[in-house]
Amino acid sequence: MPNLRSLHRIIFVAAFLILVASSFRLQSHSAVNVSPSVATTPEERGLYNLTHNPYGMMLMTKQMLEKLPMVWESEWKSRVDSNDPDSIRQLAFERYGFNEATWDNRGGPMQMVVTDKGMMYQNCMLCHGGSVPGTGQGMIGMPNTELDMQTLYDDLTKLTRYKPPFDLTFAVSRGRTNAFVFSLELLRRRNEDLSARKAPLPMGDYKDSDLDPIPWWHLKKKTAMYVDAGTTGDFARPIMQFTMGEPSGEKIRSWENDFKDVLAYLKTIQPPKYPFAIDANLAAEGQQVFSKNCASCHGTYGAAGKYPNKVIPLEVIGTDDVRLKGLTKEFRAYFNKTWFAQNSSHAVEDPKGYVAPPLDGVWASGPYFHNGSVPTIYGVLTKEARPKYFRRIGGAKEFDQKNVGLKYETLDTPAPANLAPEARRRIVDTTLQGLGNQGHPFGFRLSEKEKWQVIEYLKTL
Ligand code: HEC
Ligand code: HEC
């Protein structure tokens, strides 16, 4: 027979879960914007908005974070140290890929806005906030290469028994998300003015694909957003796609000025500087190699640098095609009819390839290619150095100074079938849909010497 204390606990937990489940539905309506008191320029207001305003989905409460170990595998549960009050929080950060906020966030991670009532809202830094490799310093606009969104949502579903309204693959591998399919699934449930519609619109035969978030410091150079340069014109409304967790279309539209400021802030973000020593002579030699072999696509750097915004046809670039072909014409065409495209924003309906990205701060943005399928820059330049199956060693702070990029171990075989899903997602299997590591042969013809020269040069960008 359970004693009184454990009975109390059961009742408390049950009541708590009911409360949380109902707040999933209620809170998104009652979220209020706090107005910034010190931010005065658009850029400052934009940063304030990103870090303080709840847009979209309430994910959890601070108390829920403490309860999450109830649904963890036993290996994770056993790591909770009951003598250390901070132990659960630290383990949760490690498991889901959160890091410390760079502002006073009431104890919440950078990936969530915490309201004064302790409600935690998923924010843009869920995917676009991480730590600088090598130093571990938190940074807004740094791709979150540690996020495990699938485990986060699966754990929350187990804890609250509240299922997200539609079945989605959030991610197949850690550090990547099926981000464009979220946009598609959210948009097909909206009318053109973003009001909710009951029956989802057909969106053709779209395909899931894991994507590596783009560093925000690229944006100021771009005439078109996304890896396929698929959205042109004014970016303010298109970057609001992830606010569609909010049910009211009217409310989303009312946030437009907030996001004009967010856009102004995004354009101020600078790439992080390489934190270790650079061999200046080797880098200068590398600049010559780069001018000859790479600059026609990736542009030139320094004070007079020019970025050409060049889209390379799929037949030439040859990287994984699922992101390009799997995002359907139906979605792109419908996007152009909606509110998102009514202020001179425009989705390109028939994109031909992938854009050659700016390489500023590229030392810090591994893993490489739009799907993060190659862990190091040496691998970008060398076919034989692209592992078929690999697993990251350590977290976001670990950095391979030689090959430039992620520290990893190569595995001989794919993940065994009996591996727990969380551990499985740490293994990147480049034979899976959307994760192919082929293409971009432009470095293969360089000599070893030239490769190390060009890698040294890239550290200076
Ligand atoms: C679930 C993860 C996720 C969230 C949340 C998210 N993004 Fe992104 N974002 C991505 C991915 C992945 C890409 C690259 C997509 C592609 O091009 O295929 C991207 C691309 C972008 C780009 C394009 C950058 C460029 O240089 O082309 C901008 C700008 C951007 N996101 C802003 C935002 C803003 C603002 C928010 C919050 C309202 C947000 N994102 C929320 C994952 C996310
Ligand atoms: C013909 C155009 C072209 C040339 C030449 C070219 N690249 Fe690229 N590069 C691209 C494109 C397009 C991508 C994006 C591919 C993708 O994400 O699928 C890319 C991606 C990359 C990336 C990964 C960037 C990231 O953040 O994921 C690196 C690093 C890179 N290139 C380095 C080089 C170097 C070094 C050279 C010269 C040896 C070079 N490239 C030559 C077009 C080119």
Query: CA separation (Å) from 184 to 57, 205, 326, 423?
Result: 17, 12, 11, 28
pLDDT digits 0-9 by tens, 380-422: 999 999 999 999 999 999 999 999 999 999 999 999 999 999 9
CA of 57 to the centre of ligand 2 (A): 35
Per-residue pLDDT, averaged over 338-343, amounts to: 94
Count Cβ atoms within 10 A of the Cβ of residue 195 and give its class: 0-12 exposed, 13-18 middle, 19 or more buried: middle
* Selection from 14, 95, 24, 93 nearest residue 61 by Cα: 24
Q: How confident is the model at residue 63 (pLDDT cuts 50, 70, 90)?
A: confident
Model pLDDT, residue 163: 78
Residue 217 has pLDDT above 60, yes or no: yes
Of the candidates 322, 220, 222, 206, the residue with the CA atom closest to the CA atom of residue 271? 220
What was the pLDDT predicted at 272?
98
Full-model pTM: 0.92
State the first-to-last Cα distance of the chain, in angstroms, to the nearest integer: 67
On the question of pLDDT at 20 being above 60, the answer is no
- The predicted-structure confidence for 412-430, as pLDDT tens digits, reads as follows 999 999 999 999 999 999 9
* Section 29-47 average pLDDT: 69
Nearest ligand 2 atom to the CA of 215 is: 26
Mutate to test the pocket of ligand 1, among 96, 226, 309 (most ligand atoms within 8 A of CB): 226
Quote the radius of gyration of the chain (alpha carbons, Å): 22
Which residue is associated with the tokens 């802030």? Answer: 265
The confidence score (pLDDT) of residue 412 equals: 97
Residues 352 and 227: beta-carbon distance below 8 Å: no
pLDDT of residue 35: 57
Instruction: Write the single-letter amino acid at 364.
Output: A
Within a 10 A sphere around the Cβ of 388, how many other Cβ atoms?
14
Spatial distance between the Cα atoms of 129 and 122, rounded to a whole number of angstroms: 12
Using the mean position of ligand 2's atoms as its centre, give its distance from the Cα of residue 395 in Å.
25
Q: What is the pLDDT of residue 2?
A: 36
* Average pLDDT score over residue span 39-52: 94
Q: Is residue 143 reached through a cis peptide bond, with omega within 30 degrees of 0 on the bond before it?
A: no
Q: What is the pLDDT of residue 203?
A: 95
How do residues 167-192 score in pLDDT, each as one tens digit? 899 999 999 999 999 999 999 999 99
Our answer on whether the CB atom of 218 is closer than 6 Å to any ligand 1 atom is: yes
Distance, CA of 331 to CA of 368 (rounded, Å): 26
Which of 375, 380, 374, 377 has the alpha carbon at shortest distance from 363? Answer: 377
Residue whose CA is at the smallest distance from ligand 1 atom 11:
213
On whether the CB atoms of residues 433 and 325 are closer than 8 A, the answer is no
Average pLDDT on 129-140 reads: 97
User: Hey, what amino acid is at 18?
Assistant: I
Q: What's the CA-to-centroid distance between 241 and ligand 1, angstroms? A: 9
Q: Which pLDDT band holds residue 162 (cuts at 50, 70, 90)?
A: confident
Q: Ligand 1 centroid vs 285 CA: distance in angstroms?
A: 35
The Å distance, Cα 449 to ligand 2 centre, comes to 19
pLDDT bucket at 37, cuts 50 / 70 / 90: low
- Residue 362 CA: nearest ligand 2 atom is 26
Report the Cα 396 to chain-centroid distance in Å.
13
411 exposure class (CB count in 10 Å sphere: 0-12, 13-18, 19+): middle
